[in-house]
Structure 1
Amino acid sequence: MASDPRPSLPAPLCLEFDGGHIQASPFGAHLLSWHCLGRERLYLSPHTSFGAGKAIRGGVPVIFPQFGERGDGPRHGIARTLTWETLDTAGAVPPGLGFRLGDREETRRIWPYRFEAELNIEPAAQRLRIALSVRNTDPNPIQFTAALHTYLRVADIAGTLVHGLEDRSYLDSARGGVLCPPSDAPVRFEGEVDRIYADTRQPLRVTDGEQLLRLEAEGFADTVVWNPGAELAASLGDLGAGEHRHFVCVEAASVLQPVRLEPGAAWTGAQILTVEPSAGH
C-alpha cells in the first residue's frame, strides 16, 4: 500500500482542568476540543481532512490578517493554515496552552509585513478564554481584520437561538452584503445565516433547549453569526449533508473597521465562553 504523500500535522496538545479538558493543534493554533462539565462544547467536522495546508473545519480557526475575502490575500488569511510555535506554559497561572506565529519568507510573500502573533487558551471549570494578540514589528503601520471563528456544538440548529443582537443592524452576507435593520428578536436558523453585526458590546447567549452558553468579547468590535444551512453544507466536502444541524458559529471579530497598528504597537482581542445553568436545572 502506498504511503500517504501529504505532510503529517504536528500532534495536538491536551490539557486537563477542573471539570474537563481541551485539545489544540499547533497547526493554525487551532482549538479542537473543549470538554466541559461532561459535554463537548465545540463542533469538529467528521469530514475535515487534517491535511497540511488545508484549514480544519470546526473547533476555533484563527482568522488573521484577513477576514473572508476582504483583501487581496487567501480567504480568511494565513494564520489558520500555518504551523505555530508551541509556547512553554508549564506552571503558568492560570494554566493554559499558548502558540506563537512570526512572519517569515512564506508569510511576507502573501502579506508583506513583519509581525508577531500569539494565541493563548485558558480553560477553567465552566469558562474558556481564547485571546489573540498581534504586535507590529514592521517599520510601517499595518492594518488587518481578524476573528475567532468559533464552532459551537448544539443539539439541533432548528431549536437554537442567539440572544443579545436584537437591537443591532447587520450586513447579510448570504444576500450579497445588504444592510438589514435590527430584527428585534433572537437570531433563528431557517436556512443559511451569514451575518456581520457591528459594534456589539453586550454579552450574547446561545440556547439550544439543552444548554445555555454566555459569550463575551474583549477588543473585538463585531460579531459574526454563521450557519451554512442544508444546501451549502451538502456542497462542502469537509462538512457534508446534515452536518449543519450540529453547530452554530458565533465569532468575536474585527471585520468592518480594520485594526491599525503603528510600528511597535500591539492589540489583543479575546472571546470568553461561560457555561451557565439552563432553565429548570
Structure 2
Amino acid sequence: MPATIEHIDFHGLPALRLRTAGGAAAVVSLYGAQVLSWSPPGGGERLYLSPQAVFDGRTPIRGGIPVCFPQFADLGTLPAHGFARTATWSVVTERTGADFALLTLALSDDATTRAAWPHPFRAELGILIEDSRLDLELEVENTGDQALAFTAALHTYLAVREVEESRLEGLHGFEYRDKLDANRIKRDSGDVLLIEAETDRVYHDVKRPLLLREYDRSLGINADGFPDVVVWNPWVERSAAIADLPDDAFRRMLCVEAAAAHEPVRLPAGETWWGRQTLVAL
C-alpha cells in the first residue's frame, strides 16, 4: 500500500491523516496546524492528546504539537502562546513518495491578526513522516516593509509510559530559566533530567540532540534553528487545576519543546526565518 494523505473529520474539525507504506501515521488538524497524533511503524502513540481536549474551533487543543507564534507563553502582550494555535491554516502542499508523506500548511496575516499584532507575515509549517521520523519545520517570512520580532515554539506533548520512570538526556551543563523559582537563571548539573515535581524550564542555546529514555523505548529529539528547549510537566496540583487535563495526566506526558524564547527572533523586512524539530523513535 503506498503512502497516503486523507482529508478527514477529527472530532468535528477538518484534519488530514498521513500514512506511509511502512506503517507510520499522523493526524494533523487545520485548526492550529496542530499535529494531534504520530505513531511510527509498529504502532505506539508518541504524542499525548488529552482525553478532555476541547474541539470547538475556538479553544486551544490540549496536546499534540501546538504551534506557538508570534509569542511564546506570556513573553509579550498577546494571549499566551499567540494566535497561530487558534487560527485555521490552509493546505499548500500534499506529497507522498515511496515511504513518506509530506504536508505543508500556511497562515498569513489578516485583519484579525493585525488587530492583535500589526505586522504582515506568512508562516508555513511542513510536516513530514518517514520511517520512524517526524519532522516539523516552521518558516516565517516578513512580508512587510519594516522589521518585526517574535518568539515561537513547537509545544510538543510527548506521550510517556510513566513520567517518573523517564530520563531526559542531553541538557547537562546548559543554562536555564526556572519559571517556578521566580525566573532565576540556573545551570543543569545532572547527567539526566528526572521529573519528580512540577517543572517549567527554558534551556538556552542548546547545541546537542536530546534522548528521552523509557524502560522499553527511546525517542531522539533534535532541533535546528530553534536555539532553546522548553521542558514542562504540570505535576499533581497543576494538572488537577487545568480543566482540559485529567488529574493524572502529568504521569503520561512530558513537554519537550523546540523554542525561540530566550531572545526574540528579529526579522528584517523581506527576510525569512526557519526552525525545525525532528523526533526519531528508537
TM (norm. structure 2) is 0.92
Give the whole-Å Cα distance in 2 for the aligned partners of 1:112 and 1:92: 39
Per the alignment, residue 61 of structure 1 pairs with: 66
The answer to whether structure 1 residue 14 and structure 2 residue 17 are counterparts is yes
Please state how far the C-alpha of 1:175 moved relative to its aligned partner.
Answer: 1.7
Cα distance per residue 1:167-219 (max 9 Å; x no partner): 11211112221111222331111110000100001000001212110111010
Please state how far the C-alpha of 1:92 moved relative to its aligned partner.
Answer: 6.8
Per the alignment, residue 134 of structure 1 pairs with: 140
Give the whole-Å Cα distance in 1 for the aligned partners of 2:262 and 2:97: 35
The structure carrying a bigger strand percent of its residues is: 2
Equivalent position to 2:266, from 260, 270, 279: 260
Letter matched to residue 56 of structure 2: G
The answer to whether structure 1 residue 80 and structure 2 residue 85 are counterparts is yes
Letter matched to residue 44 of structure 1: L
Bigger mean CA offset, 213-222 vs 17-26: 17-26
The answer to whether structure 1 residue 40 and structure 2 residue 45 are counterparts is yes
Please state how far the C-alpha of 1:38 moved relative to its aligned partner.
Answer: 1.3
Letter matched to residue 73 of structure 2: G
CA contact (8 A) 2:13 2:57 kept: no
Give the whole-Å Cα distance in 2 for the aligned partners of 1:253 and 1:104: 25
Give the whole-Å Cα distance in 2 for the aligned partners of 1:173 and 1:198: 13
Please state how far the C-alpha of 1:52 moved relative to its aligned partner.
Answer: 1.7
Letter matched to residue 229 of structure 1: W
Ranges in structure 1 where 5+ consecutive residues have no aligned partner = 1-7, 277-281
Please state how far the C-alpha of 1:96 moved relative to its aligned partner.
Answer: 1.1
Cα distance per residue 1:90-145 (max 9 Å; x no partner): 45795312210000000000000000000010011111100000000011101000
Equivalent position to 1:24, from 25, 28, 42: 28
Question: Structure 1 residues 39 and 113, CA, compared in 2 at 3 Å: closer, same or farther?
Answer: same
Aligned residues: 269
Give the whole-Å Cα distance in 2 for the aligned partners of 1:91 and 1:126: 16
Letter matched to residue 85 of structure 1: S
Aligned to 1:54, the other structure's residue is in SS state: coil
Give the whole-Å Cα distance in 2 for the aligned partners of 1:225 and 1:183: 15
Letter matched to residue 22 of structure 1: A
Per the alignment, residue 127 of structure 2 pairs with: 121
Give the whole-Å Cα distance in 2 for the aligned partners of 1:222 and 1:91: 31
Bigger mean CA offset, 34-43 vs 221-230: 34-43
Equivalent position to 1:247, from 238, 253, 270: 253
The answer to whether structure 1 residue 154 and structure 2 residue 160 are counterparts is yes
Give the whole-Å Cα distance in 1 for the aligned partners of 2:96 and 2:222: 27
TM (norm. structure 1) is 0.93
Please state how far the C-alpha of 1:9 moved relative to its aligned partner.
Answer: 5.3
Per the alignment, residue 114 of structure 2 pairs with: 108
Per the alignment, residue 4 of structure 1 pairs with: none
Give the whole-Å Cα distance in 2 for the aligned partners of 1:189 and 1:83: 34
Give the whole-Å Cα distance in 2 for the aligned partners of 1:56 and 1:110: 21
Question: Structure 1 residues 191 and 184, CA, compared in 2 at 3 Å: closer, same or farther?
Answer: closer
Identity of aligned residues (%): 40
CA contact (8 A) 1:48 1:56 kept: yes
Letter matched to residue 66 of structure 2: P
Question: Structure 1 residues 92 and 273, CA, compared in 2 at 3 Å: closer, same or farther?
Answer: same
The runs of 4+ residues in structure 1 deviating greater than 6 Å are: none
Equivalent position to 1:237, from 220, 234, 243: 243
CA contact (8 A) 2:36 2:63 kept: yes
1:187-266 equivalences under 5 Å are 187-266=193-272
Give the whole-Å Cα distance in 2 for the aligned partners of 1:19 and 1:183: 39
Give the whole-Å Cα distance in 1 for the aligned partners of 2:104 and 2:181: 37
Question: Structure 1 residues 52 and 256, CA, compared in 2 at 3 Å: closer, same or farther?
Answer: same
